[in-house]
Structure 1
Amino acid sequence: MSILKNILIVFGTVLLLVSCETNVVEKPENLIEEDEMVAIFYDIAVLNAARSSNVKVLRENEIQPEEFIYEKHKIDSLQLARSSVYYASKPNIHLRIFQRVEERLKEEKALADSLMRNKRTIEMEKNAPVIKKNDSLTPAELSEED
């Protein structure tokens, strides 16, 4: 199962527990900081998008999304799960984390769209026909010849 599915299952379970009692989940010793959770969830979203749109690239580069996340952020699956459960038990913090992830995704998409527009403009300019001058004579000189 993918990391995201595991997180969603854990999140759902925690929500059920939280709805019955407050402070159900104690803060783990090795809690991943909020900013790092934003970065992790951002990377998970990007990797899931890559997996669904172009799994071949991931295979060719031998990228295992879960292992990539753990190595990049220097965490393990248990630390991620415990931190996810803890933040899920704090709805305001959890919502803030995912709002920040969403904002970052929007910013990156806007940047990518802008770069693609610039690339297309450059390509169009390169491929535009060159308009050559018909003659070296000025318009006044041309009218004198008539």
Structure 2
Amino acid sequence: MILKRFIVVVVLIFTVVACKKINGPKKPKNLISKDKMVDILIDAKLITTANSKNKIIMRDAGLDFKTYVYEKHNIDSLQFALSNDYYAFHMEEYEEIYTRLADSLLELKEELKTIEAEEWKEKTKREADSLNQLLEENKKNKDSLGLENLIKKDSLVEDNAFFEESVEELESLLEPISDSLFQ
């Protein structure tokens, strides 16, 4: 019985001592700063979410997706992995990085919407200007498409009285057929 208690106490002491030594990964010598980490993650996110058409364009331009982010930020995959592990263990810092990442992506999205809205306004303005120019040219050329003949009244329409009389005569000749005749 005493031996069992002794073993339990020794196991508890080793467990406490072992847990104290869990500090997580050591801070790497070449730790990527939080600001740079945000920039790296933004670029990585943009590349991974690019549609297939954009990926084809990037591939044709000689861009290697796997190494682009590393080359752009002048880092290597080991440095990124060690820094990512370090920040992932220290959740407060990692959460700060991801909050800034999300905010930056939202800002980029809003900027893109603004640019697209400006382009759409410019396109519709050009279309409206082209339409106005065409209308002005038509007024100057006095209906170069020959639409003035369509606007004038047709000669048959002027003889509308004759047409109405003919319809009345035909209606008077027709007598309604009742169902009683067929019974």
Q: What TM-score range do you get, normalising by the shorter chain? A: 0.7 to 0.9
Q: Unpaired segments of 5 or more residues in structure 1?
A: 1-19, 136-146
Q: Unpaired segments of 5 or more residues in structure 2?
A: 1-18, 141-183
CA RMSD of aligned residues (A): 2.1
Amino acid in the other structure paired with 2:83: S
TM-score by length of 2: 0.58
Once the two structures are superposed, the pairs formed by residues 100-119 of structure 1 within 5 Å of their partners are 100-119=100-119
Shift, 1:51, TM fit: 5.5
1:26 matched residue in structure 2:
26
Shift, 1:53, TM fit: 6.0
Name the CA distance, whole Å, in 2 between partners of 1:51 and 1:45: 12
CA deviation vs aligned residue, 1:95-135 (integer Å, no higher than 9, x gap): 11011111111101100111111101111011112154969
Name the CA distance, whole Å, in 1 between partners of 2:136 and 2:58: 48
Name the CA distance, whole Å, in 1 between partners of 2:64 and 2:58: 7
2:83 matched residue in structure 1:
83
Shift, 1:49, TM fit: 1.1
Shift, 1:58, TM fit: 2.0
Ranked by relative contact order (alpha carbons within 8 Å, sequence separation 6 or more), the top structure is: 1
Once the two structures are superposed, the pairs formed by residues 1-146 of structure 1 within 5 Å of their partners are 22-50=22-50, 54-128=54-128, 129-130=131-132, 132=136
Larger Rg: 2
Shift, 1:65, TM fit: 1.8
Query: What secondary structure is seen at the aligned counterpart in 2 of 1:28?
Result: coil
Shift, 1:55, TM fit: 2.1
Name the CA distance, whole Å, in 2 between partners of 1:24 and 1:92: 14
TM-score by length of 1: 0.72
1:51·1:58 contact (CA, 8 Å) conserved in 2?
A: no
After the TM superposition, which parts of structure 1 deviate over 4 Å for at least 4 consecutive aligned residues? Answer: none
Query: What secondary structure is seen at the aligned counterpart in 2 of 1:26?
Result: coil
Aligned length: 116
Query: What secondary structure is seen at the aligned counterpart in 2 of 1:50?
Result: coil
